[in-house]
Amino acid sequence: MKRSFIAAGAVAGLLLLGAPTASAAVHKDVTVTGAGATFPLNMIELWKAEFFKSTGVTIAYTGVGSGAGRAQLIAGTVDYAASDVPASAAEVDQLKAKYGDFVYIPFTAGGLGVHYNVPGLTNLKLSASTIAKIFAGTIINWNDPAIAADNGAAGPNLPIQVFVRSDKSGTSGVFTDYLAKAAPADWTKGKTETFPTDRGQIGKAGSDGVSNAVKTASGGIGYGEHSFAVERQLPEVLVKNGAGEFKGPETAAVTAALEAAMLNPDNTLTLNYTTTKPGVYPLSTTSYLLVPAKMDPNEGDNLISFLNYVLGDGQSKAAGINYAPVPDSVRRAGQTAVTRINATVAQAAPAPEPVPVSAPAPAPAPAPATTAPKPAPKPAAAKPAPKPAATAATADAQAAPDPALANTGSSSTLAATLAGSLLALGGLCVGVGRKRRAVRV
Domain edge (last residue) among 270, 305, 332: 270
Domain membership of residue 87 (yes or no) is yes
CATH number at residue 205: 3.40.190.10
Query: What is the span of the domain harbouring residue 259?
Result: 111-270
Domain membership of residue 281 (yes or no) is no
Per the structure, the count of domains in the chain is 3
Q: What's the pLDDT tens digit per position in 330-375? A: 999 999 999 999 996 444 445 555 556 654 444 444 444 433 444 4
Alpha-carbon radius of gyration of the chain: 26
Domain membership of residue 276 (yes or no) is no
What confidence score (pLDDT) does residue 186 get? 98
What confidence score (pLDDT) does residue 146 get? 98
Residues 169 and 120 in one domain: yes
Domain membership of residue 378 (yes or no) is yes
What confidence score (pLDDT) does residue 395 get? 39
Residues 408 and 321 in one domain: yes
Residues 260 and 177 in one domain: yes
Q: What's the pLDDT tens digit per position in 39-84? A: 999 999 999 999 999 999 999 999 999 999 999 999 999 999 999 9
What confidence score (pLDDT) does residue 47 get? 98
Residue ranges of the chain whose pLDDT lies below 70: 1-24, 344-441
Domain membership of residue 347 (yes or no) is yes
Measure the CA–CA gap between 10 and 422, rounded to whole angstroms: 8
Residues 89 and 215 in one domain: no
Residues 96 and 130 in one domain: no
Residues 257 and 116 in one domain: yes
Residues 2 and 54 in one domain: no
